[in-house]
Amino acid sequence: MLSTSSTRDEVIEFYGYFPLLFQTMERVGELEEAWPPIRALHLEHEPLPRPVVDAIFATMGLRCGSDFCFVFHSLALIGAGAKKVEIDDLGRFLQLPDVVPDRERWDRIVRLNWLAEAPGRHQRAAAFALEQACSPAEYAKVRLTCTVSGLLSKYTELGNIDANAVLGEPPVLAMPPEFRALIPDFVQFHSELHRVLDPSAAAIPVASMCSSCKAVRTKDGEWYPGDVASELLPADVMFSHGLCERCVEELGLEDYID
């Protein structure tokens, strides 16, 4: 294993400076352990398209108390050609931007991954469906992306690092002004969406979306296609995620429901 100083030097060589996030890892004595998976993902994200990696980071960042990952991976998607309204759709519906090749397939993979990472009765079923939806190489890289996302969440929260804390760092200063101008909007959006995951936020109307087929369950407990359900739901509804009975049956997931 590399020493602290050599790992620090490698991080600086890789990024061109020593990011605040890695300063936190070094401060708690965990830089050597945390750096290898981060480096591995940066060096080789394929066979996942880069926008899919950014989408996984952004969506998983909604569960993090820090807005860091959501904001900056949303900006990475903007840099790849996504529109701001598509970032809204990513956060609200787990729907990827049009810049993602084979978008509908990756939509489903990102939604299943979100559910597979959420403790609950559908977690094992979603994890099984996710593995079936990917090639072995894709699945391994999705899992690595989640591992790295967990590390980033851990150290951003531990170091109290949010989007505002890194505004003076080189990657942010190098962004076009129109990108930097989006940061406050994405910070606010993260705050709104993060509240949906808070059990105390009962005042927000929430409906369930199937992570496999995008059907939506309305107040009557029935599942409807998304375009039909939209007419039956309040305009400000947010979505949680699960699996509808039809997909559980069609995918043979009954034995994986807890």
Angle at 91 between CA 194 and CA 18, to 5 degrees: 75
DSSP for 5-62 reads HHHHHHHHHHHSS--HHHHHHHHTT-HHHHHHHHHHHHH--TTS-HHHHHHHHHHHGG
Residue 59 or 194, more confident? 59
Whether 40 and 144 have beta carbons less than 8 Å apart is answered as yes
Domain that holds residue 241: 206-256
pLDDT digits (tens, 9 = 90+) for 188-218: 999 888 776 665 555 566 788 888 888 888 7
- 3 state SS of 143: helix
Residue 114 has pLDDT above 90, yes or no: yes
Distance CA 62, CA 64 (A): 5
Residue 153 has pLDDT above 70, yes or no: yes
Task: Provide the domain count of the chain.
Answer: 3
pLDDT attached to residue 256: 82
From the list 155, 141, 153, 171, the residue with the least C-alpha distance to 41 is 141
Considering the domain architecture, whether residues 57 and 173 belong to the same structural domain is answered as yes
Residue 231 has pLDDT above 90, yes or no: no
The alpha carbon dihedral of 158, 240, 76, 187 has a sign of: negative
User: Is the residue at 192 inside a domain?
Assistant: yes
Considering the domain architecture, whether residues 175 and 247 belong to the same structural domain is answered as no
Considering the domain architecture, whether residues 105 and 63 belong to the same structural domain is answered as yes
How confident is the prediction for the chain on average, in pLDDT? Answer: 89
Considering the domain architecture, whether residues 57 and 92 belong to the same structural domain is answered as yes
Average pLDDT over residues 61-76: 92
CB atoms within 10 A of CB 245: 12
Residue 35 has pLDDT above 70, yes or no: yes
Considering the domain architecture, whether residues 190 and 99 belong to the same structural domain is answered as yes
Considering the domain architecture, whether residues 140 and 247 belong to the same structural domain is answered as no
Considering the domain architecture, whether residues 224 and 110 belong to the same structural domain is answered as no
pLDDT attached to residue 193: 82
Considering the domain architecture, whether residues 129 and 246 belong to the same structural domain is answered as no
Distance CA 73, CA 135 (A): 24
User: Is the residue at 201 inside a domain?
Assistant: no
Residue 229 or 67, more confident? 67
Considering the domain architecture, whether residues 217 and 90 belong to the same structural domain is answered as no
**192, two tokens:** 């709104």
Q: What is the DSSP pairing of strand 206-210 with strand 238-242?
A: parallel
Average pLDDT over residues 5-30: 94
Q: How confident is the model at residue 1 (pLDDT cuts 50, 70, 90)?
A: very low
Residue ranges of alpha helices (H) inside the chain are: 4-15, 20-27, 31-43, 50-60, 68-79, 84-93, 103-116, 123-133, 136-158, 170-173, 177-180, 183-196, 226-229, 245-250
Residue 2 or 165, more confident? 165
Phi, psi of 81 (to 5 degrees): 115, 0
Residue 86 or 250, more confident? 86
- How would you classify residue 225: left for phi > 0, otherwise alpha for psi between -120 and 50, otherwise beta? beta
Which CATH number belongs to the domain containing residue 176 in this structure?
A: 1.20.1290
Average pLDDT over residues 57-76: 93
